[in-house]
Structures are given as structure tokens and as C-alpha cells.
Amino acid sequence: MSQTIPNRTRGNGVRSADLLKDNDGWLDGRYRLLEKLGEGGFGLVFKAEQVQPIQRLVAVKILKAGMDTQQVIARFETERKSLALMEHPNIARVLDAGETERGQPYFVMELVRGRSITSYSSKKNLTLNQRLELFIPVCQAVNHAHQKGIIHRDLKPSNVMVMEENGQPMPKVIDFGIAKVLEQKDASVTLATGMDQLVGTPGYISPEQIEHGSSHVDTRSDVYALGAILMELLTGKALVTPMDLAQKPLHQILRDQVERDPPRPSSREPSLKGDLDWIILKALERDPARRYGSADELGDDLKRFLRHEPVRAFPPSRAYIIGKFVRRHQFGVAASVAIALAVLSGGITSTALYFEAEKNRIAAEDAGQNLKKEYSRSDEVMARQLTERRDYTESVAWLTRALRTDPSNTLAATNLLSLLQHVHLLHPTTPELALPEGAQEARLVGLSRQSNRAIAISRVKTADASKSILSIWDTTTHERRDQELPKGVIATCLSISHDGKNAILALDDGQVEIRSLADGTSLALQPKLPQSVLSLALSGDGQTLAVGGENGTIQVWDMNQLKRPALVLKSADLPVNHIVMDYLGTLVAVAQQVDSADVKGSAVVWDLSTGKTIGDPFETSDGISALAIHREREMIAVGLHSGTVHVGNFRTQTELLPPLGHPASVTCLSMNGDASVLTVGDGRGYLHAWDLRKGQPLTPAQTHDGEILIASQALEQGLVTSVSRHGEMEVWNTVTGERVHHRLRHSVAQVSVSPDGSMLIVAPRHEPAVQVWSTHQRMTTRRYLAGPDEAYLDTPMDGEDTPDAIKQAVARSWNRASSLLAAADAEGRVTVYDLKAQYEPLGPTFVHPPAVGAVAISEDGRLAATSGRDQEVRLWDVATGRPTGISIRHDSFVNALALSADARYLATVTDEGEIRVWDSHTGDALTPGLRQGMGIRDIHISADSQELVYLMQDQGWFSLPMPLVPTSPLPDWFLSLAEALARRRLTEAGKAQNVSLMEARNALAQVPKAAPDDSDIAYRWARWLLSDPEQRSLCPQEDEPFSEYVGGLGKKKDPSAQAEAMRYRNLTAGF
């Protein structure tokens, strides 16, 4: 049967009822409109039945009748195209698009059956945490759209629907009806949003959108809308309510949004006071520059809140402080202004007026000094927040500005000294080293710490062809030497020999070369592979070299006998895309791509002593993207493009663990020395650490800002260095748990890490340069005191007269004189007893619910500290049994506490092995988190408050220096040195700047040659920081060279001391 298609006309004022009647509600013979679901600003939404090619219920959005202007149609077309770019489980998927018989565009999307996110949360009576967990995927969905270049611009609760799948809530972002494409290839698409139109909903539309229209809209406009939704979700009240719309004109409501700060969320819902106040208000900042930079950052901060981690929300700005200060000190500020006006208008004309003005001047000066102190305090607070986020270089910049503003800020000075002695600041050691003229970016890079050489291979275009250039820089003089590779040949792999003397090059003509970094001479290894070399590996000890070819050939050389022909192994006639070796170079594992219906990847292990494979190939249903192998445990880890990692025994071909899943393709794998930990980097930017003995995550996945390019493991040092495509670097000490990270200013094309993890070379994307970075040095190091069976303090034994309450206590602590005892029961009740007065309580019992894990008592018994299962540490006035008001929140459970003899300092230890020192009077942190490794069982502060003494289970007693509180201001040259080490500083206006290499050298030149009388502390710290890490003392407070300390340990007969000496055997040979 044939149908006559009516002429398609626009602007005919069709009603929704007409659409249901037209052609009996059919669209293109595939969709039948069933009922109207809703109406948006530019479209009608219908429930419809799809009959071809499959049968299902869908949602159909049709351009609203009577609004079909050319501009609106263009906007609608933008929506249809932009939705097609997105594929996310929390975004309503677009399924189809077309045009009605009346000429109205439509698109078909999945039918979302549910309620708005606010309505759903209210109906289900969700808890605070449940609401946050529901909201976080919304942030991730919006961020996905932003990554596709799409802004929603009309986010509100009704555009975030919640449906249930398998009994679990699933939020869906719908109606990208006014999306704006950020990077448009079709210039006509920009017509879809005119600059003079207000697109959005009051209360959710951003201030810049109200003021400037679409010309000022970017991803941060959606962040504002998300903040407004979050405010409503958690407080139950929108920024703009229906009552507001009924009582005020629209222009006044919009003006208020632009000119007034939003209310503090806790003013509506007190339980939000604290971090959630800052998170929501940061998202709702009127200035877009002060909001979260992306929806993911907002979601990540909410995750940090749920994990009880420090959040990224900022403290009050200086402008905020000034405003508050002026309101508090109206007299002093007004006096200052009055003096200025008096001088300008003719000055002081009488003695009485003079004395009055002088009085006002002094008041104004006092006000100015107080303002400086508030400035400095604000910078110091910001610095400590950055320290909590492990953004140490930025923290140094804020601390130095705090001290330049107010040199008497001892808290900032203490934190700066502590940070510099405990944390190595990741920094470049060279300027950006330019590639040869004509190069676009480095294709391969390498680094030799021993020879002070940086290496890069780049392609240089000439008039008639292009050529490959090997560039070698002296990293001390920055001079470059270029060598042209054979014409028409491309380098495929680059590595550096273990002794740092040679570069190893693999070429696409099958040749492998050894090139001297000293004089550039080369040795062609034999035999040459039949086809291109695709992969290369050095054994962990650097004694064996293996390469894999395009036709399945594997060749292995002894690095000590390179003139001998290679051992040639022939695998399946398939490309060897990945090759790895065990530490001693006795095994080679290769991965090959297979093109069959059921098998896409194959991994084979070769025994080099026999030249034969071990067992059958390990076949996978997806392509292999990474490999790792361990000889002693006969273990192989195979990472797939699907994100799965299989861990098996390569000899028995059995899987040792269930498959380990990851959110994206596995980009890199590495095992530690005893194969107890597997480190996995994936394409979504997560670094995972798996406990291979339990098959469980060892730590939460660490988020990077993009695909992880490398996760290099320095086995002897226990370091994992990871770098993302977008330039985020992190160094993780797997022994102590310490993590240090830094963000580069550019994306990364190539990166290579030195074998000891102390340095790396990075090649930026689309930039003709490379740069060398220092990533690790030995900083303040623990001192061994005694074996684990020794006792630090003699504590009384329980006797017959000991009360049962003390015998049954779950936590106990004595003062140093053993005259006082604090004891906690299972319900969190704590009593302090005077042991010399027949266990007489010193004060009333106090309670820290739900349970206490550790207690501490000051020497005089006036102050007590408790740690609870709520991860809080509280300080108590023992005489009254009341809290002092100091409560310190931790990220994990605190299992040990100590108070100094004078009760000035508090030391805490978490079950993750992090030690912190606090000012017990203010609750301020005096150190960054000092990660010493899990297993700390006890901690004390020495009698003179100079040392932290702690017990590591099965290892012994150790000490670390207490933070030093300087008695005089740190000199300006020292602040310049700190900025040079961090390569960062802040201007007076608050703008962050990089410190150039020349400026850093000038700062180092200002360091005095001898200790000045007024800055002995600064001088001691400077000389320690600038000395050889291999030889400098354990900490700035000591003088004994490190090698002498380790040598002394080796002479002790104590097995624990011997073990500690062995722990440092590689530190004295590296870095």
C-alpha cells in the first residue's frame, strides 16, 4: 500500500493533540505516539512505542508547535547531534532522529521511568550519604558530556530523573535540549544559541549566564547548576522557590542571583556545617574562576567527604577577609580614611586635632597590622589544605607568602620547616631542552642519571623527506648533540643500559643498536631481526636484553657479551606487541595479537636456559595490553584492553585469582619484588594496587586526570612512579605509603623513569622539547633505637588491689612517672586515676562514644586525649571531665596517641601508619602526614619534646625529630630558597608563578656560606637540603653522615639493627 506524503511546512501552529491524531500518531512507520509525558522550553515529549527493528517503549521529543523558528530548529539540531556524541550510563541515550510529516524535527531516546532526583530522595527518605552517592554519578555524567564538548545549560532537578534497575537507583540526566557545542566544526551551529537570549531556569542558571548570555557560558556554568541541585537535594529548599517567583518580579530574582552570595547550606540544614558548606558554596561561587573547574572535581570532593578525606573547597579569600575585617574594625579603618582626607583637605590645624589624629593613626596602624596577620593566617590555612591534598609545591608557595606578609607567623614557619625536611618536592632539574629545528615532539625518550644524559628521538621534516634524529643532552650544561639515524629508518624502542653508559635503540628495519652516551659510537647487535622490532625489555638487574619482532621472532642478548649473536626464539608468526623479563633475566614473557573469532590475545613464557616455552599459551578473549612476570612465584599477570587482569601460574596454566576488573583498558602493569603487590594503571586515569595474596585492593584506587601512560616500579627502593596523559605525576612509596604528586602544565607524549625512581624525563605533546625532573630523594629518615622486645617506659604491673575497671580496660596509658593512669572501657568511658592515692579518680569520668581506641595523659594529669571509632581525636580537661573544644578529625582510625610532658604537643598515629604532630592548644597541624608504614603499635614524645619515639611491629623502636618551632623570623633568602626548591611562588596579587631555573640558581647563590648569627635554624636547614642525599644526616637537626649511621647499624649484633641496615643498602648506592 502506498501513502501520499504531505508537503512539509513549518510554523503551522500544531498542537500536541494534533500530533497524536496525525497519521494515527505514527512517525515514519516505526514509532507510534501513545501519550504526552511533558513539555520543555522548546519541545514536547511523548511516550511512544517503537515497532521496528525491535519492539520497545521509548521517549520521543518533537519540536514544540508554534515555536518552530529557524533559530529554534538550529538549536534542536544541535541537541540531536550532541546527544549522539555521548554514551554514558547516567545520560539518557539517543536512539534515533527524524522529521514529522509536518516538518517538525524529532528524536527518539530511551524512556526514563522515574522521579526527579529531589522527589525520589524525599519519597525514599534517603540519608545524607545516600543522597550524595546518588548525586555523584550525575557529576560524572555531566563531566562526560563536557569532555565531548557539550554543555547542558539547563540542569535542574526535573532534568535529573531517577529510575530503579534491579532495585538500585539509577540517575539519568535528560533533556540536553539547549546544549552548546564548545568546539564546533560547523560554524552554522553557533546560530543555535544567540548571545542575547536567556537560556536556563532561575535558581539554577549561573550569574555569568544571566549577565552576559551564552557568550560567557562554559562548563563551570553547569557546575553552578549542579551546586544548586545539590543545595536543594540536601536542604530540601531551592535557591529560588515558587514563593519567590510568585512574590518578586523575575528581573529582581535574577539580579539577586548575580549580586548576592547564596545562603550557607547549614543555615537551612545544620548537619551540613563544615565540609559540605564549603563544597556547595564553592560550586555556587558567583565568580566562575572560584568554582570547581569541572563537574568531576565536584564529584571527587563529595567522594572525599564520604571517605572522610580532606576536601578541595577553599577557605575564605583575602577579599572575604578584608570585608569581614572592615566590618569588625570600623573605627580603625575609618580613622585611617579620615587622616587621609584631613591631609588632603588642608591638614591638622590645632594641637587638639593633632593629638586626636595621632590617636587615630595609631589605631589605624594597629588595624593594619591585624589585617596583615589575618592575611598571613589565611595563606597558612590554605597551605595546610594543600598539604592535606599532597599538593606540596603549592603549599610551599602559600607558606612563603604567609611569612612575607607576617614574619612572626610561627605556625607557618613551623609547617614550612617540617614540610621541607620530610617531603621531596617534585621539580624540574633542567629547563625545557629544545629538540632539533623542525621537530614537532619527541617520539621516544630516555634518561641516564649516572651519565647526566637525557635522550630523545624525534622526526624532522625536510624539503623532500623526513629523518629521525637522536638527541643527547648533558643535563648539567644543557648542551645538545644530534645524531642522524639511517635514512628511511624509524626508531621503535629506546632504553638505557643499567650502568647508564649506553642507549639501546630498536629500529623498524629489524636492527638493534647500542650507542655510547659518551662519544656516540654505535654497535649493531647480531643477528638483525627479519622485520621491525616492536617491543624491548631489560631484566631488572640490567644483565639481559630481549626484543620482539613483527613476525614473532624473539632475540635475547647477554649485556656483558654484546658481540656474541643473540639467542633466537621463534614464537607464532604474529607480532610480539609486548615483552617483559623477570628480574634476573631467566624468563621472557611475550604477548601477541591473535585475529580469530574466540581468541584475540596470546601470552607465552620462555625459559631462556632451555630455549623452550613453559606450558601452553595463555589465551584471552580480548587483546593483551600489558604483561608482568615473577620467576620465584611462577606468576604471570596479563592485562587486557577490556580492563580485566588475569593472574595465573605460567607453569600449571591455572588462574591464581579471580579476574581483576578495572574501569578501562589496562595501560601498564608491574609487580613488586616478592610479587605480593600488583600495580595497574588504566585508561581512565586510575592507579590500582592489588594484594596478590588475597586478591583484594591493597589501597583505594588513586585518581589521575587522564590515561596513565606509565607506572614504573623501582623494586629495590619500593617506589612506584606514575604519569598520566594529561601530565599528573605521582610518586608512591609502597613501603611507607607516602604519596607525592605534581601536575605538569601540559599533556604528555612520552615519559621515561630512571631505574631507581629518582628522576624522569618527559616529552610534552605537540611541543619540540623535553625536560628532566627530580622525583625522589631521601628526606628525614627514622633512627633505629632498639629491638621490638624492648620497653621504652617501665609501666606498673596490675596487682591484686588493681580495680577491675582498670584490669578490664580496652585502652590504657600512663604518664612518664607512672603516677597517673588513664583507662577506657568498651563503651568509651574514660577515667584518670592517681596511682599514688589508691586509684583515686582525678576528675569525673568522660565519654567518647561509641568506643575509644587509644588514650593519653599529660605528665601533670590536667589534659587527656582520646581517639574514637569515629576517627576523631578529642582533648579533655581532666579536672572537669569536659572537652577543651579541640577535636581533630582523621581520615582513618587513630590507634596510638601521645602528649608531651608540658601538654603542648599531641602526636597521633593512624592504622595506616601516618604520624602527625599537633598543637594541643589550638588543634593546628605542625607536620604533614609522616607515613612510616603500617604496623606502628605505640608512640611517645621524649621528655625534652625533641623526639617522637614509636614502635614498629616486628621491627623495633625508632625515632623521628619533633617539629621545630623557630624563635626568630625565617630570613627572606630562606623563603626564596624554599620557593626555588618548589619552583613555585605567589605574587602579592595571589597569582601562582613558576620559578625559572635561573631564578632558582640565584636563590641558591644567596644562601650564606656560614651560619648567620640570627638565622642558625634557616642555615642548618638550607645546608642539609642542598647536600648530597646519599651522605647527608638523617635529618637537619643532626650531623652524623648517613653512611656512618648505616655502617654503625651493621656492626650491631642486634638482628633488628642488622635488618634496618639491610633496608638501606640500596639507598646508599642510589639517588
What number of helices (H) and strands (E) belong to the chain?
A: 21, 64
> Which comes out higher in pLDDT, residue 1026 or 684?
1026
Do 947 and 435 meet the contact criterion of CB atoms below 8 Å apart?
no
CATH of residue 99: 3.30.200.20
Q: Quick check: helix, strand or coil at residue 281? A: helix
Q: How many CB atoms lie within 10 A of CB 340?
A: 11
Predicted local confidence at residue 211, as pLDDT: 75
**Same domain? 158 vs 37:** no
Predicted local confidence at residue 364, as pLDDT: 58
Statement: residue 457 has pLDDT above 60: yes
Distance CA 559, CA 523 (A): 12
* DSSP string for residues in 781-844: --EEEE-TTS-SS--PPP-TTS-HHHHT-SEEEE-TTS-EEEEE-TTSEEEEEEGGGTSEESS-
pLDDT band at 759 (very low <50, low <70, confident <90, very high): very high
Q: Where are the alpha helices (DSSP H) in 237-292?
A: 242-247, 250-259, 275-283
> Which comes out higher in pLDDT, residue 809 or 348?
809
Q: Is there a domain that residue 601 lies in?
A: no
Last residue of a domain, one of 388, 422, 456: 422
Binding residues: 61
Predicted local confidence at residue 150, as pLDDT: 79
Cell numbers for 728: 599528573
**Same domain? 997 vs 931:** no
Statement: residue 471 has pLDDT above 80: yes
Tell me the percentage of the chain whose pLDDT exceeds 70. Answer: 86
Distance CA 164, CA 169 (A): 4
pLDDT band at 182 (very low <50, low <70, confident <90, very high): very low
Statement: residue 308 has pLDDT above 90: no
Predicted local confidence at residue 21, as pLDDT: 55
pLDDT band at 83 (very low <50, low <70, confident <90, very high): low
The kind and range of the H/E element at 86 are none
Predicted local confidence at residue 62, as pLDDT: 81
The residue type at 788:
P
Predicted local confidence at residue 341, as pLDDT: 45
Statement: residue 197 has pLDDT above 70: no
Asked if omega into 1012 is within 30° of 0 (cis), the reply is no
Contacts of 454 (CB under 8 A, 6+ apart): 430, 433, 445, 446, 447, 448, 472, 473, 475, 761, 770, 772
Distance CA 1024, CA 635 (A): 43
Distance CA 173, CA 185 (A): 25
Q: How many CB atoms lie within 10 A of CB 1051?
A: 9
Predicted local confidence at residue 7, as pLDDT: 34
CATH of residue 402: 1.25.40
**Same domain? 272 vs 394:** no
Q: What is the pLDDT of residues 128-177, one digit of tens each?
A: 999 999 999 999 999 888 877 778 888 999 889 999 887 889 999 987 65
Q: What is the pLDDT of residues 482-534, one digit of tens each?
A: 999 998 899 999 999 999 999 999 999 999 999 999 998 999 999 999 999 99
Q: Is there a domain that residue 572 lies in?
A: no
Q: DSSP label at 855?
A: E
Distance CA 188, CA 885 (A): 62
- 238-241 LR contacts (CB < 8 Å, sep 24+): 238/203, 239/203, 239/204, 239/284, 240/202, 240/203, 241/203
Mean pLDDT of 884-892: 86
Q: Sign of dihedral through CA atoms 649, 654, 656, 661?
A: positive
Q: Give which of 27, 7, 184 is closest to 98, Cα–Cα.
A: 27
Q: Is there a domain that residue 636 lies in?
A: no
Tell me the percentage of the chain whose pLDDT exceeds 90. Answer: 54
Mean pLDDT of 876-901: 91
pLDDT band at 563 (very low <50, low <70, confident <90, very high): very high
Distances from the Cα of 779 to the Cα of 279, 423, 502, 1013, 1036, angstroms: 34, 6, 30, 26, 9
**Same domain? 106 vs 119:** no
Do 948 and 933 meet the contact criterion of CB atoms below 8 Å apart?
no
Binding residues for ATP: 61
**Same domain? 414 vs 448:** no
Q: Is there a domain that residue 557 lies in?
A: no
Mean pLDDT of 658-685: 92
Report helix, strand and coil shares of the chain as percent, to nearest 5. 25, 30, 40
Where is average pLDDT lowest: 488-497, 587-596, 621-630, 695-704? 695-704
**Same domain? 945 vs 911:** yes
**Same domain? 95 vs 23:** yes
Contacts of 531 (CB under 8 A, 6+ apart): 510, 549, 550, 551, 553
Distance CA 691, CA 675 (A): 9
Predicted local confidence at residue 1, as pLDDT: 35
Predicted local confidence at residue 1025, as pLDDT: 96
**Same domain? 120 vs 106:** no
Distance CA 234, CA 128 (A): 7
Predicted local confidence at residue 161, as pLDDT: 92
Predicted local confidence at residue 880, as pLDDT: 94
Mean pLDDT of 884-894: 87
pLDDT band at 339 (very low <50, low <70, confident <90, very high): very low
Residue span of the structural domain in which 441 resides: 430-524+704-776
Predicted local confidence at residue 40, as pLDDT: 63
Q: Quick check: helix, strand or coil at residue 848? A: coil
Whole-angstrom distance between the N-terminal and C-terminal Cα of the chain?
83
Q: Is there a domain that residue 645 lies in?
A: no
Do 809 and 852 meet the contact criterion of CB atoms below 8 Å apart?
no
Predicted local confidence at residue 346, as pLDDT: 44
pLDDT band at 289 (very low <50, low <70, confident <90, very high): confident
The residue type at 654:
T
Distance CA 87, CA 696 (A): 30
Where is average pLDDT lowest: 57-71, 84-98, 937-951? 57-71
Where is average pLDDT lowest: 96-100, 313-317, 924-928? 313-317
Statement: residue 470 has pLDDT above 80: yes
**Same domain? 353 vs 418:** yes
Average pLDDT of the chain?
85
Q: What is the pLDDT of residues 696-711, one digit of tens each?
A: 998 888 888 788 999 9
Task: Report the number of distinct structural domains present in the chain.
Answer: 6
Q: Give which of 1063, 1052, 1046 is closest to 787, Cα–Cα.
A: 1052
Where is average pLDDT lowest: 321-330, 343-352, 381-390? 343-352
Mean pLDDT of 275-285: 92
pLDDT band at 464 (very low <50, low <70, confident <90, very high): confident
Statement: residue 69 has pLDDT above 60: no
**Same domain? 101 vs 132:** no
Where is average pLDDT lowest: 128-137, 629-638, 792-801, 895-904? 792-801
**Same domain? 761 vs 800:** no
Q: What is the pLDDT of residues 813-856, one digit of tens each?
A: 999 999 999 999 999 999 999 998 889 999 999 999 889 999 99
Q: Is there a domain that residue 536 lies in?
A: no
Distance CA 169, CA 635 (A): 40
Q: Is there a domain that residue 699 lies in?
A: no
The angle that helices 1016-1026 and 972-982 make with each other, rounded to 10 degrees, is 30
> Which comes out higher in pLDDT, residue 233 or 1071?
233
Last residue of a domain, one of 954, 985, 1012: 954
pTM for this predicted structure? 0.67
CATH of residue 849: 2.130.10.10
Cell numbers for 181: 557545542
pLDDT band at 304 (very low <50, low <70, confident <90, very high): confident
Strand spans (E) along 340-411: none
Sheet-wide strand order for 783-786:
783-786, 956-961, 947-952, 936-941
Q: Is there a domain that residue 196 lies in?
A: yes
Last residue of a domain, one of 397, 422, 447: 422
Contacts of 957 (CB under 8 A, 6+ apart): 784, 785, 786, 787, 788, 790, 792, 949, 950, 951
Where is average pLDDT lowest: 609-618, 738-747, 940-949? 738-747
**Same domain? 753 vs 816:** no
Where is average pLDDT lowest: 132-141, 282-291, 626-635? 282-291
